[in-house]
Amino acid sequence: MLASELVATVRTALFPLARLHPLPPPGVSRGRAPVLLVHGFLGHADMLRPLARRLLTEGWTEVIRLGYPSTELGLDDIIARIDAAAQALGDRPIDLIGHSLGAVAARAWIRTAGGATRVRRFVSLGGPHAGTSLYRLAPRVIRPALDPRGPWVKRLAEGPEPVPTWVIRARYDHQVLPPLRASLAGARETVLEGHGHNGLLWSRASHDAVIRALTED
């Protein structure tokens, strides 16, 4: 797992090289909802390219990668960025996928900012929904969203998930501590062995789980 996570982290850091591998053209499957992808803390839109590539290859016609300065914005501001990206897609239902902090922000948008009326399905990749013991390492502006005893964790824990939700998480996640904090009560869940936090964006097993989450009844 450590070797796999190291490779995933290095590949993520070398994101300019990823741009040398163009994304495939949009798929041809009709009737599929647009997919909005949201990266996590210290992330960028290019780290979502592997998952976007897989979805486009599998026939999705619209896959949007949202980028934002994760070290500068509080959760309310990230929620506003997600809302703007969703509004740009018109009135159509969307599928929403968030990684790490992006999953927390996406879920917060669904639960507190009207996103529940727009989202067909939500997929969380390693989202620290119950916080993480490492929250003090994050900038102060985002700590309230990652503090296990913080206001956002308490607020988002109230009531069931308002849209169909699927959690995909690593059994051994070095950024969500303890890893069980990535779980959500009542959500379907896939727990991956042999991959860590960043590996969720790169592994074929994770991509397979995302596709199941978006297509299974």
Rounded distance between C-alpha atoms, residue 76 and residue 92, angstroms: 23
Q: What is the pLDDT of residue 31?
A: 79
Beta bridge partners of 191: 169
Give the start-to-end residue ranges of the domains of the chain. Answer: 2-14+32-215
Where does residue 67 rank: exposed (0-12), middle (13-18), buried (19+ CB within 10 A)?
middle
Asked, as a colleague might, if the bond just before 128 is cis with ω within 30 of 0, I would say: no
**Which residues 6+ apart lie within 8 Å of 184 measured at CB?**
124, 129, 161, 165, 167
Q: What is the pLDDT of residue 1?
A: 63
Mean pLDDT of the chain: 91
Rounded distance between C-alpha atoms, residue 64 and residue 86, angstroms: 10
Q: pLDDT digits over 142-182, tens only?
A: 999 999 999 999 999 999 999 999 999 999 999 999 999 99
Across 58-86, average pLDDT: 96
Q: What is the pLDDT of residue 24?
A: 81
Q: What is the pLDDT of residue 195?
A: 87
Q: How confident is the model at residue 10 (pLDDT cuts 50, 70, 90)?
A: low
Across 186-194, average pLDDT: 95
Percent of the chain with pLDDT strictly greater than 90: 80
Q: pLDDT digits over 100-141, tens only?
A: 999 999 999 999 999 999 999 999 999 999 999 999 999 999
φ, ψ for residue 197 (rounded to 5)?
-60, -55
Q: What is the pLDDT of residue 28?
A: 73
- Contact status, residue 135 vs residue 144, Cβ threshold 8 Å: no
| Long-range contacts of residues 129-138, Cβ cutoff 8 Å, at least 24 apart | 129/103, 129/104, 129/153, 129/156, 129/181, 129/182, 129/183, 129/184, 130/157, 130/180, 130/181, 130/182, 130/183, 131/181, 132/175, 132/176, 132/177, 132/181, 133/177, 133/178, 134/175, 134/177, 138/41
Across 12-41, average pLDDT: 79
Helix (H, G, I), strand (E, B) or coil at 110: helix
Across 6-21, average pLDDT: 64
Token readout for 142 is 């985002």
Helix (H, G, I), strand (E, B) or coil at 79: helix
Helix (H, G, I), strand (E, B) or coil at 165: strand
Q: Which CATH class is domain 2-14+32-215?
A: alpha beta
28-37, 81-90, 119-128, 191-200, range with the lowest pLDDT:
28-37
Q: What is the pLDDT of residue 107?
A: 98
Question: Is the confidence at residue 9, as pLDDT, over 80?
Answer: no
Question: Is the confidence at residue 11, as pLDDT, over 90?
Answer: no
Q: How confident is the model at residue 194 (pLDDT cuts 50, 70, 90)?
A: confident
Q: How confident is the model at residue 16 (pLDDT cuts 50, 70, 90)?
A: low
